[in-house]
Amino acid sequence: MAKIFVLSCVKDLSKISKFYAILYLISQYPLSQCDKTVLTPNDISTRPITIASYGPDVARAKKYVYLSGAAYCFDIPAWTCPYCEKSHRFGYEFHSLIVNKEANTLAFIAVNKKLKEIVVTIRGTLNVANVVLDIHPSILSIETGSSPLERGKSKGPEIRIHTGMINATNSLYPEIVQKLGKVLKENEDFEVVVIGHSLGAAAAALTLFLLKEEIRLPADFPVPKSYAYFGYGTPRVGNQAYADYWNGQPMQITRVINKADFAAYTPPSLGGYVHHGNELWLSPTGEEKVCSKTVYEDPNCANSVASMSNLPDHLQYWDVAYLSCAGADPFSTAGQFVIPVV
């Protein structure tokens, strides 16, 4: 098996730099917002349990951020990278690695026996192949393809999602199902937490969507105690029907945005994309602000600094610098731009 550099992609590197500039300009447009509804005490008491009932979980977000950082490090199974060691202090042990060489995507599973947690972490953008997924221009129905979502055909409006993000998800999903099913059988009554940063946060949300809807799951796939989601620098994944789906889920969902992280404003809302609720905003003043849980995109939180959107805020969440492992190992990083050819 030989290796070649993706010269066709290298030719387009100038286009990629222009893409980031375009992202900045797009982020200046007004973002979609929803009107607040005044609720009576009776309305509140009879409302169903949803993600708004839980609210963002700051403590858990600060814990899982190290696992999201570990996904960018090399030789994860050794469990010796700086963020691996910090995760180990919280009781998380490496279980299995999931890699798609063609799409150059990666995920891993860690287990915490004491807390009865299984965490699936999906890596974000680290190479040209990932950028190609990021900038895919189209949005498609979740019902398209070989595995239609039956609930969407009979309930509510059509759920539409970003094509590149579902492609990234599908590149890892079959193996995630296989290995997650195995670890669930070994650890009954455990919670499954799906997390990620950047493109990985989007893929994590879509992976959880597929798991909850039991899409392409074997008949004997174990049912976990519960599911949860934590995303760092999550881009907009789908349309309002998609956001409505998550806003109605009775589970812990925390979407963390650091300051003016540009990814939070992409793809542009003008394309029909919208975030779901439960935003935890790390404001420029250092405040960890739990934002409105009933508005899709709270204008008083990350949207208040949309005009200052930038890349540095995307690469640093608390004390996790997502490209620190890449910088410490330039040889392995260069290998991310090489693909195997049979």
Q: Is 154 a residue whose pLDDT tops 50?
A: no
Give the model's pLDDT for residue 342.
41
pTM: 0.81
Q: Is 34 a residue whose pLDDT tops 70?
A: no
- Integer Rg of the chain from CA: 19
What are the Cα distances from residue 246, in Å, to 159, 249, 250?
Answer: 11, 5, 9
Q: Is 324 a residue whose pLDDT tops 50?
A: yes
130-153 tens-digit pLDDT? 554 555 555 666 654 433 444 444
Paired with 195 in beta bridges are 121, 230
Cβ–Cβ < 8 Å for 188, 222: yes
**Number of Cβ within a 10 Å radius of residue 342:** 4
- The residues, any chain, with a CB within 8 Å of residue 328's CB and separated by 6 or more, are none
Least confident of 152-156, 169-173, 195-199: 152-156
Cα dihedral value 327, 331, 333, 338, nearest 10: 160
How far is it, in rounded angstroms, from Cα 280 to Cα 232? 10
How far is it, in rounded angstroms, from Cα 154 to Cα 145? 18
Give the model's pLDDT for residue 135.
52
SS3 string, 240-264, reads HHHHHHHHCCCCEEEEEEECCEHHH
> DSSP secondary structure string, 315-332?
SEETTEETTHHHHH-HHH
Q: Is 117 a residue whose pLDDT tops 70?
A: yes
What are the Cα distances from residue 270, in Å, to 1, 99, 273, 320, 330?
Answer: 45, 34, 7, 32, 38
Q: What residue spans define the domains of the chain?
A: 48-335
Give the model's pLDDT for residue 155.
53
Predicted confidence band at 29 (pLDDT cuts at 50, 70, 90)?
very low
Give the model's pLDDT for residue 53.
83
Q: Which two tokens stand for residue 269?
A: 């809302």
**Number of Cβ within a 10 Å radius of residue 10:** 12
Give the model's pLDDT for residue 158.
81
Give the model's pLDDT for residue 274.
92
What are the Cα distances from residue 325, in Å, to 82, 329, 332?
Answer: 9, 6, 9
- The residues, any chain, with a CB within 8 Å of residue 40's CB and separated by 6 or more, are none
**Parallel, antiparallel or unpaired: strands 288-290 and 279-282:** antiparallel
Q: Is 175 a residue whose pLDDT tops 90?
A: yes
**Number of Cβ within a 10 Å radius of residue 243:** 22
78-95 tens-digit pLDDT? 999 999 999 999 999 999
Give the model's pLDDT for residue 51.
86
CATH of 48-335, one of 3.40.30.10, 3.40.50.1820, 3.40.640.10, 3.40.50.2300: 3.40.50.1820
Question: What integer is the mean pLDDT of 94-99?
Answer: 98
> DSSP secondary structure string, 56-78?
--HHHHHHHHHHHHHTTSS-GGG
55-68 tens-digit pLDDT? 899 999 999 999 99
Predicted confidence band at 160 (pLDDT cuts at 50, 70, 90)?
confident
First-to-last CA distance in the chain?
5
Q: Is 54 a residue whose pLDDT tops 60?
A: yes
Give the model's pLDDT for residue 133.
52
What does pLDDT average to over the chain? Answer: 80
Find where tokens 């945005």 sit: 257
188-234 tens-digit pLDDT? 899 999 999 999 999 999 999 999 989 999 999 999 999 999 999 99
Least confident of 75-89, 104-118, 315-329: 315-329
